[in-house]
Amino acid sequence: MMRMLFILMLLHIGAASAGPVETYEFASPEQEQLYLKLSDTLRCLVCQNQSIAESNADLATDLRKEIYNMLQQGMDEDEIVAFMVERYGDFVLYKPPMKPMTWLLWFGPAIILIAGFVFVMRIVRKQDTDEEPALSEAEQQRLKELQSEARSTMHSSDREEQD
């Protein structure tokens, strides 16, 4: 009995999580293909990384219905896309047009990449040019004295070890 109740609960949960399947009747296969194409190329404004064909959001459902209604009214692809862009902005398109308002979208990643490259190159060049300053005459003389003292100390310690 408990097993049967558990199976019924699982079936109920599965049915509750399934999204609605929309079925529309189209006048021609071309019209259906256009509907599918538009649904795949327009972005869901709620999900932001899904097309309205993939999304189960209420807005996506409304947009699919709106596309269907516009197709039934005889509107073509360009008119439907223009309507969506006018109403929701260029963000509704996965590939926004090249215009001043979208230049940052198009060129932003390249600008950031170039700026990062220039930054790294400056750091590398700075490290290459940071040489030790040249020693003065007095410092060079003192260095030679220290080196000769170190050699003499090493030679005397070597002799002591041999004895």
Domain residue ranges in the chain: 21-97, 98-131, 132-163
Residue-level pLDDT at 158: 59
Tell me what the mean pLDDT of segment 107-117 comes to. Answer: 92
Q: In three state form, how does the secondary structure of 60-106 look?
A: HHHHHHHHHHHHHCCCCHHHHHHHHHHHHCHHHECCCCCCHHHHHHH
Which of these ranges, 18-27, 29-38, 74-83, 137-146, has the smallest mean pLDDT? 18-27
pTM of the model: 0.53
Give yes or no for residue 33 having a pLDDT over 90. yes
Question: In the CATH hierarchy, which fold is given to the domain comprising 21-97?
Answer: Helicase, Ruva Protein; domain 3 (1.10.8)
Residue-level pLDDT at 16: 46
Residue-level pLDDT at 81: 93
